[in-house]
Amino acid sequence: MALYAQASHKREVIKAREYQIRPNTGQDQTVALQKVIRKIQAINHPVTLVFEPGQYDFYYKTATQAPYYISNTSGKEELDTEVKTIAILLKDIKGLTIEGNGALFMLHGKMTSLVADNCRDLTIHNLQFDYARPTMSEFTLTAVTNDYIDVKVNPDSWYRIKDSILYWYGENWDGEKTPPRLFTCVYTPVDSALHFVNAGWKRLTQAKRAAEIGENKVRFYQNKHTGDKLGGAVGDVYTVRDITRDEVGLFLLQSKNIRLDNVQMHFMHGLGIVSQFCTNLHFNHLRCAPRSQTDRICASTADMAHFSGCNGKITVENSFLAAHMMIRSISMVPI
């Protein structure tokens, strides 16, 4: 008979280091963590998985591939598959506490950071998630003239210039090879507001030409034949994203008694934290914002927290869910 339900059963502590999961190595920790998770799945009593402080790297090539249908994301009318690329998959697990001790989980490639599927009594504590190359590209206007505009590209926004056209790319996506559906917003410091810009990136792609004028510095020359003048004010920050929601930040599915405590989501692709058909959720000291040292302004391409078909008690407290998100801080869809 399973002993999990007995309150007297001692909680087991598993240290990630003992399973060759070590911080600050730059090496892929995905496979090693998957092995630990499989071990935890077979345990019938509460477990605390402890990480040391530091950065742990997770790469898309070794991530789990699994189909998930997620509320308010891109369906088959936009994609030919529902398969998600998942850095950490927690499935059918009870009584797990993940103690991050402030660790940073760095994702390499477009993927969902963590999925909790049919989990019970799960706590994630003191943990950060970020992208090495966010799918949101950002640049700041440094000069605006009648003949050109100059921009400073955020170092996390990788690009190449080919045949005088600027293309964005990442670790498992390339805007040159697979042209994305790009959408542009502009953050204006004068009023601390984020504005939707119709055809904003299209105007830049129709510039007469783009040229690199320094490290992460690009000049777009005005194309007077298009009729669309490149404009804005010095200091404005452009954000450019693919509107396809093929992944999310964190996905909770058919799970109960889930607690996120002092969790920081520094970037989430597609949609933010999605809770679907879950019961009793408690988000405390949740922070959705870029790390200050990155100088980025956006932490999500859409809603920070999305609840769909959930019940029981849902609590979000002592949290910061802004950081110039593209749509809403919190959205809820009833059963």
Per-residue pLDDT tens for 91-127? 999 999 999 999 999 999 999 999 999 999 999 999 9
Q: Answer whether residue 129 shows pLDDT above 90.
A: yes
Predicted pLDDT at 258: 99
The percent of residues above 70 in pLDDT, for the chain, comes to: 88
At the topology level, CATH places domain 13-134+244-333 in Pectate Lyase C-like (2.160.20)
CA distance 318 to 41: 32
Predicted pLDDT at 282: 98
Predicted pLDDT at 182: 80
Residue 212, phi-psi category: left (phi > 0), alpha (psi -120 to 50), beta (remainder): beta
Predicted pLDDT at 28: 98
pLDDT higher for 101 or 8? 101
Burial class (CB in 10 A: 0-12, 13-18, 19+), 129: buried
CA distance 75 to 92: 25
Predicted pLDDT at 4: 44
Tokens for 300?
């999500």
Q: Mean of the per-residue pLDDT values for the chain? A: 89
Q: Domain coordinates of the chain in residue numbers?
A: 13-134+244-333, 137-242
pLDDT confidence band for 6 (50 / 70 / 90)? very low
pLDDT higher for 165 or 207? 165
Interval 288-310 mean pLDDT: 91
